[in-house]
Amino acid sequence: MGKKPISEADKRMEELVSLCRRRGFIFQSSLIYGGINSCWDYGPMGVELKNNIKRCWWKTMTQERDDIEGLDASIIMHPRVWEASGHVAGFTDPLVDCKKCRRRFREDEFDGDKCPDCGGALTEARQFNLMFKTFMGPVEEEASIVYLRPETAQGIYVNFQNVLGPSRQKVPFGIAQIGKAFRNEITPGNFVFRMREFEQMEMQYFVRPDTADEWFEVWKEKRMQWYLDLGVNKDKLRFHEHGTDELAHYAAKAYDIEYEFPFGWKELEGIHNRTDFDLQRHQEHSGKDLSYYDQERKERYVPFIVETSAGVDRSLLTFLADAYEVENPGEKNERTVLRLSPKLAPIKAAILPLVNRDGMPEIGHKIADELRPHLKIFYDGGGSVGRRYRRQDEAGTPFGITIDSQTLEDETVTLRERDSMAQERIKIAALKDELLKRTAI
Ligand SMILES: [Zn+2]
pLDDT, averaged across the chain: 93
Reduced to 3 states (helix: H, G, I; strand: E, B; else coil), residue 14 is helix
Encode 402-436: b = buried (16+ Cβ within 10 Å), e = exposed. Answer: bbbeebeeeebbbbbebeeeeeeeeebeebeeebe
* Distance between CA atoms of residues 424 and 306, nearest Å: 47
Residue 102 has pLDDT above 60, yes or no: yes
* Distance between CA atoms of residues 11 and 70, nearest Å: 41
Q: What angle do CA 412, 414, 416 make, to 5 degrees?
A: 155
pLDDT at 2: 42
pLDDT at 5: 59
Average pLDDT over residues 328-355: 96
Reduced to 3 states (helix: H, G, I; strand: E, B; else coil), residue 177 is strand
pLDDT at 3: 52
Question: What is the CA(114)–ligand 1 centre distance, in A?
Answer: 8
Percentage of residues in the chain with pLDDT exceeding 90?
A: 81
Choices 3.40.50.800, 3.40.50.740, 3.40.30.10, 3.50.50.60: CATH for 347-439: 3.40.50.800
Question: What is the CA(30)–ligand 1 centre distance, in A?
Answer: 28
Residue 114 has pLDDT above 70, yes or no: yes
Q: What residues does each domain of the chain span?
A: 42-77+149-320, 347-439
What pLDDT, in 10s, does the model give residues 145-184?
899 999 999 999 999 999 999 999 999 999 999 999 999 9
Question: What is the CA(188)–ligand 1 centre distance, in A?
Answer: 18
* Cis previous bond, 361, omega within 30: no
What pLDDT, in 10s, does the model give residues 12-69?
999 999 999 999 999 999 999 999 988 999 999 999 999 999 999 999 999 999 999 9
Is domain 42-77+149-320 given the CATH code 3.30.930.10 in the classification?
yes
- What Å distances lie between residue 97 and 37, 89, 127, 159, 393, CA to CA? 18, 22, 12, 41, 46
pLDDT at 143: 67
Q: What is the CB-side half-sphere exposure of residue 232 using CA atoms within 13 A?
A: 23
What pLDDT, in 10s, does the model give residues 119-130?
899 998 888 899
Question: What is the CA(125)–ligand 1 centre distance, in A?
Answer: 15
Question: What is the CA(132)–ligand 1 centre distance, in A?
Answer: 26
- End-to-end Cα distance, the chain: 50
pLDDT at 221: 98
What pLDDT, in 10s, does the model give residues 342-389?
999 999 999 999 999 999 999 999 999 999 999 999 999 988 999 999
Question: What is the CA(415)–ligand 1 centre distance, in A?
Answer: 58
Residue 139: pLDDT band by 50, 70, 90 thresholds? confident
Residue 275 has pLDDT above 70, yes or no: yes
Question: What is the CA(193)–ligand 1 centre distance, in A?
Answer: 25
Element counts in the chain: helices (H) and strands (E): 13, 23
